[in-house]
Amino acid sequence: MLGPRHTKARMLTFSSLCTSVLSATATNTAQSLTGFISARPHLLPSPSAMLRRSRRPITSREAARYLLRAPRDSRRDAAFRRAIRQIPRGKVATYGQVAAAAGYPLYHRQVAQLLRSSPMGSLPWQRVLGSGGAIKLRGEAALEQRMRLEMEGVRFRGKRVDMEAHQHRFRLWELED
């Protein structure tokens, strides 16, 4: 019989639960262990705490943040430069296509960073566009990119490049050195 100071049920901590479960498995069958846990659901951690402890797959936004902070890699940048130089006059490719052709399919942001940081005239930067043929630059730089592409014979549909007519198809066997 419980005395007056034991009127409230005593809560076990998670570690004492584990100890109890281990001792129960050592002495009892699997049925009694299942009964032990199902009779005491208040002793299990909350579902949100269990999610915090588990390894969950990262979201695409988290992956993009991780890749944005990726350190500079000279081999990766050289592969990007090779792929960009393969784009002929009058043809265009997206940042994602360049990254995939270089062997780094999720690194489209690093392609943009490389083009932004490379010296003017070292790469044909105007031939690399955003997805769907959109010019992703702003202001005067966007006007210059459009003018350069029109001088190369690229046609536009509104604000986007006609990708059906001018999209470059990378031949991966030509990129190998």
Tell me, yes or no, whether 35 and 78 share the same domain.
Answer: no
* List of residues 6+ apart from 92 with CB closer than 8 A: 127, 128, 129, 133, 149, 154, 161, 163, 166, 167, 168
Residue-wise pLDDT for 24-78, tens only, equals: 444 444 444 455 455 555 545 555 554 555 567 778 777 767 666 666 788 999 9
Residue-wise pLDDT for 144-167, tens only, equals: 999 999 999 999 999 999 999 999
Tell me, yes or no, whether 42 and 84 share the same domain.
Answer: no
Residue 116 and residue 80 in contact, taking contact as beta carbons nearer than 8 Å? no
The domain in which residue 161 lies consists of 73-175
Tell me, yes or no, whether 110 and 24 share the same domain.
Answer: no
Q: How many domains does the chain have?
A: 2
Predicted TM-score (pTM) of the model is 0.60
